[in-house]
Chain A
Amino acid sequence: MKNLEGSSPSTQRVSVLGQADVNRAITRIAHEIIERNRGLEGVVIIGLQRGGVWLADRLAAAINHIEGESAHPLVTGYLDVSLFRDDISLRPVTPLSVTDIPIDLDGSKVVLVDDVLFTGRTVRAALDALNQYGRPASVQLAVMIDRGHRELPIRPDYVGKNLPTGRDEDVHVTSEAVTLERRVTQ
Chain B
Amino acid sequence: MKHLRSIEELGVEGIVRILSLSEHMAQVNQRPVPKVPALIGRTVVSLFFEDSTRTRISFETAAKRLSADTMTFSVSTSSVNKGESLRDTIETVSAMGVAAFVVRHKTSGIPWQLSQWTDACIINAGDGWHQHPTQALLDTYTVMSTLGRTPSATCLAGLRIAIVGDVRHSRVARSNVQAFTALGAQVVLVAPRTLLPPGVEDWPVEISSSLDEVIGDVDVLYMLRMQRERMNEALVPHLGEYSQRFGLDERRATLLRDTTLVMHPGPMNRGVEMVVDPATLPGNVITRQVANGVSVRMAVLFDVLGGSEVTTGAQT
> Which A residues have a C-beta under 8 Å from some C-beta of B?
80, 82-85, 88-89, 93, 95-99, 128-129, 131-133
Tell which of B24, B32, B33 touches A93, judged by Cβ atoms closer than 8 Å: B24
Interface membership of B44, Cβ < 8 A: no
B33 lies within 8 A of A98 (CB): no
- Per the CB 8 Å criterion, the residue count for chain B at the interface is 20
CA distance A128 to B38 in the complex (A): 11
With CB as the reference atom, state the residue of chain A lying closest to B27. A98
Most buried by A among B32, B302, B306, B309: B306
Tell which of B31, B151, B306 touches A88, judged by Cβ atoms closer than 8 Å: B306
Q: How many A-B residue pairs have CB under 8 A?
A: 44
Neighbouring A residues of B27 by C-beta, 8 Å? 80, 98-99
Tell which of B32, B306, B308 touches A132, judged by Cβ atoms closer than 8 Å: B32
Interface membership of B268, Cβ < 8 A: no
Interface membership of B220, Cβ < 8 A: no
Neighbouring B residues of A97 by C-beta, 8 Å? 24
Give 9 A-B contacts (CB < 8 Å), ordered by A residue: A83-B28, A83-B38, A88-B306, A89-B308, A93-B21, A93-B24, A97-B24, A128-B37, A132-B33
B23 lies within 8 A of A88 (CB): no
B31 lies within 8 A of A99 (CB): yes
A88 lies within 8 A of B24 (CB): no
CA distance A88 to B42 in the complex (A): 13
With CB as the reference atom, state the residue of chain B lying closest to A132. B33
Per the 8 Å Cβ criterion, residues 136-179 of B in contact with A are: 151
CA distance A165 to B33 in the complex (A): 38
Neighbouring B residues of A93 by C-beta, 8 Å? 21, 24, 302, 306
CA distance A132 to B302 in the complex (A): 20
